[in-house]
Amino acid sequence: MATLSKSRRWIALGILCLSLLMAVVDNTIVNVALPTLNRDLGASTTQLQWIVDAYTLVFSALLLTMGHFGDRFGRKRALQLGLLLFAITSGAAAMATTSGQLIGARALMGIGAALIFPATLAILVNMFTDPKERAAAIGIWTAMVGVAVAVGPITGGVLLEHFWWGSIFVVNIPIAFIAIALGAWILPESRDPKVGPMDYKGLVLSAAAVGLLIWGIIEAPAWGWTSPAILSALIGGLALLGVFALVERRRAHPMLDVRLFSNARFSAASLSITTAFFALFGFIFLITQFLQLVQGFSPLEAGIRTLPFAFATGIMSPVAIVLMHRFGSKAIVTIGLLVMAAGFVMAATVKVDSPYAGIVVLSMITIAAGLGLATSPATES
């Protein structure tokens, strides 16, 4: 891999963050459009749920697979392909005339996002070889994830205020092509030098296992946690994860070296990030619906009211890296998760008539601050 000058490395980081921002924003930008989609497309409650979740399901199921694709064929190539696919499928989503078409387009967008997300972090880690620079870059990358989660609703609100609902997808197209053009100019190519034969069993098992687990979690509230379908999906997903682990342990060149999870530091960091974002996306979905459907704010007004979340995350993520070097990652991640938990406890006390300027915004800021504290050191670990 070609070595970039310091200034070009930080420019390259900006391109990676732009790509990441687009992919993560699409996890939450749709939330504020759900009432509009219900009215314009006649989408049922179940269809609205899948308009949101089709993206998340495919993205989660293919994340490991597409990360492996980048390691094998080139991370820059994976990123460029993901951006192109994301642009094309965003256009398809904008032109959808039925809920089914939109759900299908959202699922295809998830494939693009699964290519983009791991490629950005892998390119970053390979570009920044100095430990201090790398820690700072990861702090910025992590902050971008948290900021993007909150930026989605306000971006959607602004677009819905002035344009039709398809604009929330059209906006991705110029961003993707700008990132493609700039990335072709400056981003270095890198691959895993130790990559072996294609791990087809691992690819299928990981996608099937994660897909079943995510589907079970998504559908459990509607079907019931004890329903045969949900129990079968969850048990089947866990069983496939077990088979995946056994298969990967026996391979000389596994897609995922599962022995990493015997490292307590790695396992704790992975669990911390998973737990934080699992809870976060549920909160963002609920708070945007609460602000619109319960408190009567417009999509734009609801989006603006999520800004404190973006500010708090953006501030605390870089701060967490500084604190980590002084107090250690274990202490900062633990404090961050505890702060997040306190924020969720506050959110649980919100009532129909709770003022936004009180417990609502306080819980939002607390959760965001905890997220910034927990995820930056955990990602760097």
Q: How confident is the model at residue 171 (pLDDT cuts 50, 70, 90)?
A: very high
> Taking residues 17-45, what's their average pLDDT?
85
The torsion defined by the Cα of 366, 372, 378 and 380, in degrees rounded to 10, comes to -170
Question: Between these two residues, 44 and 268, which has the higher pLDDT value?
Answer: 44
How does DSSP classify residue 317?
A: H
Q: Is the pLDDT of residue 379 over 70?
A: no
Place of tokens 């965001």: 368
User: Please, what is the average pLDDT of the chain?
Assistant: 84
**Rounded to an integer, what distance in angstroms lies between the CA atom of residue 237 and that of residue 241?**
6
Place of tokens 């504290």: 373
Question: Between these two residues, 257 and 188, which has the higher pLDDT value?
Answer: 188
Q: Is the pLDDT of residue 1 over 60?
A: no
179-199: pLDDT as tens digits: 999 988 888 888 777 766 777
Highest mean pLDDT among 261-270, 295-304, 329-338: 329-338
> Taking residues 351-378, what's their average pLDDT?
84
Please calculate the CA angle 190-193-197 and round it to the nearest 5 degrees: 115
76-98: pLDDT as tens digits: 999 999 999 999 999 999 999 89
Q: Which pTM does this prediction carry?
A: 0.80
43: domain CATH number is 1.20.1250.20
**Rounded to an integer, what distance in angstroms lies between the CA atom of residue 282 and that of residue 211?**
18
Domain for residue 335, yes or no? yes
Co-location of 11 and 118 in the same domain = yes
Co-location of 58 and 163 in the same domain = yes
In sequence order, what are the residues at sequence separation of 6 or more whose Cβ sits closer than 8 angstroms to the Cβ of residue 221?
none
Instruction: Give me the pLDDT at residue 380, please.
Output: 59
> Taking residues 114-128, what's their average pLDDT?
89
Co-location of 167 and 86 in the same domain = yes
Please calculate the CA angle 340-341-347 and round it to the nearest 5 degrees: 90
> Taking residues 11-34, what's their average pLDDT?
87
Domain for residue 143, yes or no? no
* CA distance readout (Å), 169 to 157, 285, 315: 13, 18, 28
Structurally, the chain folds into a number of domains equal to 2
Structure token digits, residue 237: 């997903």
Place of tokens 């019931």: 224
289-332: pLDDT as tens digits: 788 778 888 877 887 888 888 788 878 878 888 888 788 878 88
The residue segments making up the domain with residue 48 are 1-131+149-199+251-256
Co-location of 174 and 268 in the same domain = no
